[in-house]
């Protein structure tokens, strides 16, 4: 998701080669992750079911839908544009299945522990998945003109569901903070998705406004067009708050800033806000918003580079640690044998 949206942002800003390179990387990562997820689902079904019943983890599965939509959008302007149609169809099917299954598992079949204190930033990925599908549908509509009416209806539907889900999840998160508080340790990178979900709503909304004039699109266009401006403003307002919370977590409370996979959930919102600003500025003819988006893109690129460096460093450290542990295991028997041999050679030693 993070690599794909930074790729889209670079391409829209006119940096085709870097954008294409990141798109290839995102596509490779998508295939690898799809294979790993499939293997895990078939080999470890008990663990998967445990995740699906865990309110703190289950909504992360919606990244499958969102990632599929982001890759599909990135492929639209390439020779593989037809693949985008297949990916959007896959995203729609996954969104439909997971959109009912995950809430059922979390709300009705969870482990019995109170749920409010277990809500977190990953819940916003549910909204992101809906908006990602809307973005993909708006993008493939010119490729399938015979299905414009159906695509327009589904795009408006998924955008509306995503917007309402965001409002509901935001209420739950606020209730959790008001009633239970939030410690520095609990404020983790996925809370940035609260901003990214608004940004992708802007991208999806501008895409719908530009779709062919079908009945559903015409009925919703004026409402969506006005709403996305408010969404962009609220996303902008959230950025200083999230930065301040990060300062509170890492500087004032001394929690080390180390790489973790969750840090990619910071890169995605930054890239999405850049793309949202560029598209909103163009659609609504507000040049200064487009300038903000182009400038913000470099922040997203820098964040991507830093997190990617953290990932590479983490992999290297794990490799070094694994090699040292293996060497230690090999040396331990040798040390024991040497000790036994020395004892045997010592007068009065143990010769058993």
SS3 for the chain is CHHHHHHHHHHHCCCHHHHHHHHHHHHHHHHHHHHHHHHHHHHCHHHHHHHHCCCCCHHHHHHHHHHHHHHHHHCCCCCCHHHHHHHHHHHHHHHHHHHHHHHHHHHHCCCCCCCHHHCCHHHHHHHHHHHHHHHHHHHHHHHCHHHHHHHHHHHHHHHHHHHHHHHHHHHHHHHHHHHHCCCCCCCCHHHHHHHHHHHHHHHHHHHHHCCCCCHHHHHHHHHHHHHHHHHHHHHHHHHHHHHHHHHHHHHHCCCCCCCCHHHHHHHHHHHHHHHHHHHHHHHCCCHHHHHHHHHHHHHHHHHHHHHHHHHHHHHHHHHHHHHHHHHHHHHHHHHHHHHHHHHHHCCCCCCC
Please state the rounded mean pLDDT for residues 271-286: 93
Give dist(CA 307, CA 266) in Å, integer: 9
Does pLDDT of 324 surpass 90?
no
Question: Residue 287 sits in which domain range?
Answer: 2-312
pLDDT given for residue 352 in this prediction = 41
CATH number at residue 119: 1.50.10.150
The answer to whether residue 7 is domain-embedded is yes
Q: How many domains does the chain have?
A: 1
pLDDT of residue 337: 61
Residue 220 lies in a domain: yes
Is 51 within the bounds of a domain? Answer: yes
The residue behind tokens 């008001």 is 178
Determine the pLDDT at residue 336: 61
Q: Tell me what the mean pLDDT of segment 42-58 comes to.
A: 91
pLDDT digits (tens, 9 = 90+) for 128-146: 999 999 999 999 999 999 9
Q: Is residue 338 part of a domain?
A: no
Assign 111 a pLDDT band (cuts: 50, 70, 90).
low
Confidence of residue 351 (pLDDT cuts 50, 70, 90): very low
Answer whether residue 59 shows pLDDT above 70.
yes
Write down the pTM of the prediction.
0.89
């Amino acid at each position: 998701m993070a690599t794909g949206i930074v790729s889209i942002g670079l391409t829209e800003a006119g940096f085709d080669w870097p954008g294409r390179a990141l798109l290839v990387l995102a596509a490779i990562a998508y295939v690898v992750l799809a294979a790993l997820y499939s293997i895990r689902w078939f080999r470890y079904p008990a663990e998967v079911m445990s995740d699906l019943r865990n309110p703190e983890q289950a909504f992360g599965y919606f990244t499958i839908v969102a990632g599929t939509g982001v890759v599909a959008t990135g492929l639209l302007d390439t020779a593989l544009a037809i693949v985008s149609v297949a990916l959007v169809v896959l995203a729609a099917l996954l969104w439909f299945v997971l959109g009912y299954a995950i809430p059922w598992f979390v709300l009705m079949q969870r482990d019995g522990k109170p749920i409010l204190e277990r809500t977190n930033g990953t819940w916003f990925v549910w909204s992101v998945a809906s908006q990602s599908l809307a973005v993909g549908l708006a993008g493939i509509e010119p490729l399938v003109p015979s299905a414009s009416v159906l695509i327009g209806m589904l795009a408006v539907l998924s955008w509306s569901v995503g917007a309402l889900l965001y409002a509901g999840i935001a209420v739950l998160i606020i209730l959790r903070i008001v009633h239970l508080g939030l410690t520095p340790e609990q404020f983790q990178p996925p809370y940035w998705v609260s901003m990214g979900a608004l940004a992708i709503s802007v991208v999806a909304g501008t895409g719908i406004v530009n779709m062919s004039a079908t009945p559903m699109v015409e009925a919703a266009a004026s409402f969506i067009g006005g709403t996305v401006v408010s969404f962009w403003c609220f996303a902008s307002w959230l950025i200083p708050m999230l930065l301040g919370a990060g300062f509170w977590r890492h500087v004032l409370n001394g929690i080390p800033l180390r790489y973790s996979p969750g840090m990619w959930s910071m890169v995605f919102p930054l890239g999405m806000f850049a793309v949202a600003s560029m598209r909103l500025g163009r659609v609504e003819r507000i040049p200064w918003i487009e300038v903000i988006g182009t400038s913000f893109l470099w922040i997203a690129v820098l964040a991507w580079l830093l997190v990617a460096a953290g990932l590479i460093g983490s992999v290297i450290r794990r490799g070094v640690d694994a090699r040292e542990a293996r060497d230690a295991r090999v040396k331990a028997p040798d040390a024991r044998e040497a000790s036994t041999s020395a004892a045997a050679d010592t007068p009065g030693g143990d010769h058993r």
